[in-house]
Structure formats: C-alpha cells, structure tokens
Amino acid sequence: MALAVVSSASPEELQRAIALNDSARFQAIPGIGKKTAERIVLELEGSVADSAPVPSAGAPRELVARDALVELGYTLVEAEQALAAVDPELPAEERVREALRSAA
C-alpha cells in the first residue's frame, strides 16, 4: 500500500494533502478507503508539519474547486489536471467554470 501512495503523486503533493487534512486525495488511490485515508493523514500530519511549508492561502479554494469538479463526475486526477490550467487566484466558482470551459 505504501508503494501505491508514494507512486500516486509527487512528494510535494502528498505533503500538501497531509498538511491540509485532505484524505480525499488518498481515497483516490486504488485499495485505500475512507478510514485508511484518514488514518494516513492522522499518522503523518505530525511528521509533515515540521518539514512541510505552510499551505498557501489559495489551498482551501483549490480543494473546493477540485471537490466541485469531482462531484460533477471528474476523477480526482482529472479535476486536478483541469484546475492546473486555470488561474489559481480566481475564486473557486470561477476556477470551476474555467476548467469546464477548457474541457468543452
């Protein structure tokens, strides 16, 4: 399971997910359910808190936009890729609109 987690994203992305208590990022990995994802975040948050940079102010906005795209049927990875091409300074609603426009 550890290999699946490590190979699912870059170390920076995993650090950010742990720092933001984003268990949904880990649930997207095959074989990891909600409880396991929450446990990963809980057990690693102490070790990452000392070494990880503080998340930017836009991070929660990023999660809101990503979760909105997931609710619309995108996979977690597809949502993150779509949002990567959108200006991160925009409000979450506008980021979702822009991501949907670029997909059309």
Total tally of structural domains belonging to the chain: 2
Do 44 and 63 belong together in one domain? Answer: no
Q: What's the whole-number average pLDDT of the chain?
A: 82
Same domain, 69 and 43: no
Same domain, 85 and 47: no
Q: Residue 22 gets which letter from DSSP?
A: -
Q: Which run of H or of E encompasses 94?
A: helix 92-103
CATH number, residue 33: 1.10.150.20
User: Which residues does 33 contact at the CB level (< 8 Å), separation at least 6?
Assistant: 27
Question: CA 38, CA 24: separation in Å to the nearest integer?
Answer: 9
- Summarised one tens digit per residue, pLDDT across range 9-18 is 777 788 888 8
- DSSP readout, 46-99? HHHHHHSPPPPTTHHHHHHHHHHHHHTT--HHHHHHHHHTS-TTS-HHHHHHHH
Answer yes or no: do 68 and 29 share one domain: no
Of 13, 32, 51, the domain-final residue = 51
Convert the pLDDT of each residue in 57-67 to its tens digit: 455 767 888 88
Structural domain span for residue 21 = 2-51
